[in-house]
Structure 1
Amino acid sequence: MENFIYKITPSKLNGTVNVSGAKNSALRLLAASILTDRDVTLENNPNELLDVKIHVEMLEALGKNISIEADRILIKDESFNNELVWNKRSIRNTVLIAGALFARSGYASVPLPGGCQLGDRKIDIHLDIFEKFGAKINFETGETNDTLMLTKETELVGQDIHLPIRSTGATENSILIGSLAKGTTRIFNPHVRPEVLDLLDLVSKMGAKVEVFGQDYIQITGIGGQSTPITPIVHEVVPDNVEAITWLMMAIVNKSKMEIKNFPYAHLVVPMQFLLEGNSGISFDEASQTLSVDGKNATSFEIATGPYPGINSDMHPIFAAYGTFAMSNSVVTELRFFDRFQYLEEMAKLGANIVQDKNTITISGNIKVKSETVRATDLRGGMAVLMLLNEGTDTATITEAFQIERGYNNFVTKFNALGGKLEKVFPESTKEINVTKEALVA
């Protein structure tokens, strides 16, 4: 796998930035394209994300023909292969690829998922869903990736799926399989969030009938062998709310004047409440979906992560970085991924004073940033240390910076267009690295 470092020199950011399509939506929509032999075009797709690039390669390995132009991707069903042979880095989305392959053909063979190493993110809940829909499950151990295999033992018919927790991935897998099942599938205790609604919108364009009853349940009447239209499908990916909130917090701590276009304010009502306090220089124009920021001072907060519409766990490290610039202490309680704290050691190298007590951290404000070399431990932890280093005193290095580009589309280009000084460097000694499944287990 290609590796690189970031060299960042502290700089003042001003100007306009456009929020790309959501990573956590685009990956699900790419998996959903497996369900159909119709042409699928995704607009506002974050095509430069490393995880998206890997997913596209996986689709090509499954027989899809891919054409990419700017933020548009066209997916054609050139041939169909329900075995994904893969010896490169895996991504967590392979568990959804398995669901889509199984729904369409009755068989799936995929590498077990990878992604950010965030503690206990087992796939047991997905296996329960596969079994509920009549799959026989097998595993094979491989040198690079282990393999998950699903075989249909009964007719694919709709099911009542009762999720033990509000899992986004489990909700999405139930949607993918249910959309091609015969009859009705009801998903109880789903995690209904913007990316899930985006997926529901796409499968409805494929012919499934969808009803959402708040956070109680989702009902899907599957295609189930019925004839469907042959017309191409065109769909626009929703904006990335984590990218959007990152630019906002970065603008506040940098005291920047910034316009953030394609800002999904309606998806960020709860986190915005904490950022609007004490920040009168923030305004939103609904007609143009543009957030204008005249950054003043970061303010302290006390938050807990939780299901939508609450504060997404992905925002936790970004809030932690923001809190180091507040005038007093802030608190983050992590209620989803209890091991999402690897980044704290790197933040401490930069002068952050953060005390952890189990799944709660207390963040001291008024940081004086030290410009030291740090590592991007994961996607959001990498962005957290970058936010600090842009407020430092000298040029510094972020190693394993590929983590950041797994989730921030065209980040270097966007950052530098705002006046940032960020360079991507490929050291000869680390130009290619081998990432083991243990290092990127999700």
Structure 2
Amino acid sequence: MDSINVTGGRALEGTIPIAGAKNACLTLMPATLLSEEPLTLTNAPRLSDIRTMSRLLASLGAEVSPLSDGLVLAMSSHALNGDRADYEIVRKMRASILVLGPLLARLGHAVVSLPGGCAIGARPVDLHLRALEAMGAKLDLRDGYVHAKAPAGGLRGGDVEFPLVSVGATENALMAATLARGTTRLRNAAQEPEIVDLARCLRAMGAQIAGEGTSEIEVQGVDRLHGATHRVVTDRIELGTYMLAPLIAGGEVTLGGGRRDLLEAFCERIEAAGAEVRQDATGLTVRRANGALRAVDVATEPFPGFPTDLQAQMMALLCTAEGKSVLEERIFENRFMHAPELVRMGACIDVQGGQATVTGVERLRGAPVMATDLRASVSLILAGLAAEGETTVSRVYHLDRGYEHVVAKLRGVGARIERVRAND
């Protein structure tokens, strides 16, 4: 099993290019199921989750061809030959559930396994199912699969009121509604940039959508969607992760293609901790403003709040900030599994339920640590940049799901980091 070795103590200087968003691309790819015509995505990230989604779409009869250096995905669903998303593929990634809405809208029926993914707490699909039921779908859960059927004549428009904000459920409902008869209104909808990106892609395919980026989205169903070419939005989670690197290690780094509007709440918190963030035409440049970092409190919330996917990385930063910080996780339970690993490196962290209190220490110490999920993986790497001595992060297969070329990108700005292959 591969591991990553990090030797801390070196300030970072230079530019890190930010990739297209994993979460956006994983949502955009199932949109190909809505049309017989080709959908081409540019600025696609090169990640294992993208390969998993490609295999899932191929199992349904779609054609997915990575072009050039892998940044372009050409897809076509002109010859779908299946409606069943099998457990063997779906279990590897929660985003697989996003084929349910498109299959149901296009074919009128679908059988999709309940998904797997990172062990960061329960992320039930009931909100997805409620939304599809509001459009007339009949659903039956048995043997670990969702058996879904649209009424005669296809899905119909409906009013969907989400009791909780759910990005995935909003995405599934939005795709299904594009081909439903009549008008669908999604209330208490997620407002994330990935939702806006999906709506723009669907509109380029001929969908009639209004209100994306707000809590209410209205979709007027159309008879068919056509092909399109769409550029995947910048990955705001990769952006935020690398923004923390020069704050943790020292130095100044420019994040190529970065946009503050994707992470306003995050930027406000790191500035309160002592960061300087500058925006120009090339991206965002980040450095410490003056001396030591200061403790700040953080609470994760749906967009436009502080992203849950940056909570672990922020904790790594606050481990050496002066004072006591409180991090409250309001999105997922069990998302402090990285805390014990940071404690192994000398951090002072007390976890009580959904709240972690971090008391800053003068310096972290390198240690062997184990990644428990995707974002925990990179939080430990960031901590290693600040630690005295060498940190070895094991189980880094999680990392490949969400960060492309993390070693090369950090090494390119001066970090002492290497990946050790299992057979080396």
Smaller-chain TM-score bracket: over 0.9
CA distance in 1, matches of 2:404, 2:111: 29
- Taking only aligned residues, the RMSD between alpha carbons, in angstroms, comes to 2.0
Partner of 1:168: 167
Q: Which runs of 4+ in 1 moved over 4 A?
A: none
Aligned residues: 416
- The offset of 1:167, in angstroms, is 0.9
The superposition leaves residues 182-233 of structure 1 with CA deviations (integer Å, 9 ceiling, x where unpaired) of 111000111111110111111111111111076341000111x25x55xx41
- The offset of 1:374, in angstroms, is 1.0
- The offset of 1:390, in angstroms, is 1.9
- The offset of 1:148, in angstroms, is 2.5
The residue type equivalent to 2:412 in the other structure is A
Cα 1:213–1:175 change in 2 (3 A) is: closer
2:313 is the alignment partner of 1:318: yes
Superposed counterparts of 1:161-200, under 5 Å:
161-200=160-199
CA distance in 2, matches of 1:95, 1:214: 22
2:93 paired residue among 91, 94, 98: 91
- The offset of 1:278, in angstroms, is 6.0
Partner of 2:353: 358
The residue type equivalent to 1:379 in the other structure is L
CA distance in 1, matches of 2:276, 2:220: 47
Partner of 2:21: 22
The superposition leaves residues 355-403 of structure 1 with CA deviations (integer Å, 9 ceiling, x where unpaired) of 1222111111124222211111111111111111122233332111011
Query: TM-score normalised to the size of structure 2?
Result: 0.93
Partner of 2:79: 79
CA distance in 2, matches of 1:116, 1:213: 28
- The offset of 1:292, in angstroms, is 1.7
The superposition leaves residues 76-113 of structure 1 with CA deviations (integer Å, 9 ceiling, x where unpaired) of 23520222345244211121111111111011122221
2:106 is the alignment partner of 1:107: no
- The offset of 1:236, in angstroms, is 0.8
2:30 is the alignment partner of 1:31: yes
Q: Which runs of 5+ in 1 are unaligned?
A: 432-442
The superposition leaves residues 323-361 of structure 1 with CA deviations (integer Å, 9 ceiling, x where unpaired) of 112111111111111321111111111111111222111
Superposed counterparts of 1:390-409, under 5 Å:
390-409=385-404
Superposed counterparts of 1:37-76, under 5 Å:
37-46=36-45, 48-68=46-66, 69-70=68-69, 71-76=71-76
CA distance in 2, matches of 1:369, 1:308: 31
2:118 is the alignment partner of 1:123: no
CA contact (8 A) 1:25 1:237 kept: yes
2:407 paired residue among 408, 412, 419: 412
2:370 paired residue among 372, 375, 382: 375
Cα 1:352–1:278 change in 2 (3 A) is: closer
The residue type equivalent to 1:119 in the other structure is G
The residue type equivalent to 2:155 in the other structure is L
Cα 1:297–1:20 change in 2 (3 A) is: farther
CA contact (8 A) 2:267 2:277 kept: no
- The offset of 1:140, in angstroms, is 4.5
CA contact (8 A) 1:133 1:156 kept: yes
Superposed counterparts of 1:299-310, under 5 Å:
299-310=294-305
CA contact (8 A) 1:96 1:173 kept: yes
Cα 1:213–1:15 change in 2 (3 A) is: closer
1:294 paired residue among 287, 292, 304: 287
The superposition leaves residues 272-326 of structure 1 with CA deviations (integer Å, 9 ceiling, x where unpaired) of 11222364643211x33x1122335432111211121110111111111111121
CA contact (8 A) 1:90 1:112 kept: no
Cα 1:409–1:280 change in 2 (3 A) is: closer
CA distance in 2, matches of 1:12, 1:53: 34
CA contact (8 A) 1:332 1:362 kept: yes
1:274 paired residue among 269, 278, 300: 269
The residue type equivalent to 2:31 in the other structure is A
CA distance in 2, matches of 1:111, 1:416: 40
CA distance in 2, matches of 1:380, 1:4: 17
Superposed counterparts of 1:137-176, under 5 Å:
137-141=139-143, 146-154=144-152, 155-176=154-175
CA distance in 2, matches of 1:114, 1:302: 31
CA contact (8 A) 2:3 2:422 kept: yes
Cα 1:297–1:236 change in 2 (3 A) is: farther
CA distance in 2, matches of 1:212, 1:267: 18
CA distance in 2, matches of 1:35, 1:205: 13
CA contact (8 A) 1:324 1:365 kept: yes
CA distance in 1, matches of 2:220, 2:105: 14
CA contact (8 A) 1:352 1:367 kept: no
